[in-house]
Amino acid sequence: MKYLVPTTAFASLFFSASILASSLEIPLNFEYLALDGQEISTTSFKHQAELDLTPGTHKIAIRFHDMVQDQYSDSQTFVKSSPFIITLDVQDNTEYQLAPASDLALKDPKKYAETPKVNINSNNNSPVSFQYVLTQYEEPSFFNRLFTGSQTAKIDASTAAATAVGTSAMVQANTQTTTNQANSADAIVIATGAAQTASGVVTAPATAVNDGANPEQMLQYWWLQADDNTRKEFMGWAIKQL
């Protein structure tokens, strides 16, 4: 009998944690960048679709990232949007799904990447309250990163800083209460590389300097240069490394 109380308490704690668990799910052509000021590490070969979230308000940096067929050759090119920041009021035991607000993401990814509008729905059809801010951080070319240092690291650090609690960039956004027919077009705000408050005072975000090219971007670059046979050989080798 003396072991009953600790066991019961542990079981109660476990089930309570399960009940409170919430998450956000994104499609394959989106990627997480940061959560509440912390960068999210991802790879080009494994997509992170789900992000666990605790109840409360969270700031999540996300980017549209897709591969499209090059119209002038047989190779593929990568299309990336500027990072956008979602401020989401997370409820207990709720699964959220982010999706493009229109089919433009499939019909014309390059055009969609210019202004990636999104909707957020919940599994229980409850109203979803979120804010949306589109930044103007741009992804520099591969050769620019190669010869001038990793600007991607600076962009990621700035994006992560913009998701930190209390960041003033979010005061520019309009809060939306949405259902399954959410439309976030009216909530789009363009933010520069610095966070601007309503009073016009500009606060520069934190940046990090990381010399050298991004290994993932180098892999992507050489992948685009390779022919189909070389790509198949590389994929066979990569699978063996897993």
Question: pLDDT in tens for each of the 242 residues of the chain?
Answer: 555 555 554 544 444 444 568 999 999 999 999 998 888 887 667 789 999 999 999 999 999 999 887 767 677 788 999 999 999 999 999 999 999 999 999 999 999 999 999 999 999 887 898 999 998 765 444 334 433 444 455 556 656 666 665 544 433 343 444 444 444 444 444 443 433 333 333 333 433 334 455 677 777 777 777 777 787 777 767 666 65
Other beta carbons within 10 angstroms of residue 152's beta carbon come to 18
Q: Residue 156: its pLDDT value, please?
A: 60
Q: Give the residues across from 176 on adjacent strands.
A: 130
User: Residue 181 has which token pair?
Assistant: 């027919």
Other beta carbons within 10 angstroms of residue 72's beta carbon come to 7
> End-to-end alpha-carbon separation of the chain, Å?
47
The tokens 């992560």 sit on which residue? 160
User: Residue 141 has which token pair?
Assistant: 């070319």
Q: Residue 21: its pLDDT value, please?
A: 83
d(CA 117, CA 84): 9
- For CA atoms 84, 85, 90, 93, the dihedral sign is positive
User: Residue 223 has which token pair?
Assistant: 């992948």
User: Residue 77 has which token pair?
Assistant: 């090119």
pTM for this predicted structure: 0.57
d(CA 72, CA 74): 7
The tokens 């962009």 sit on which residue? 155
d(CA 12, CA 20): 12
**Alpha-carbon distances of 55 from 22, 24, 84, 184, 224, rounded to whole Å:** 7, 12, 21, 22, 42
User: Residue 35 has which token pair?
Assistant: 């959560």
Q: Residue 158: its pLDDT value, please?
A: 59
Q: Residue 226: its pLDDT value, please?
A: 78
Q: Residue 30: its pLDDT value, please?
A: 95
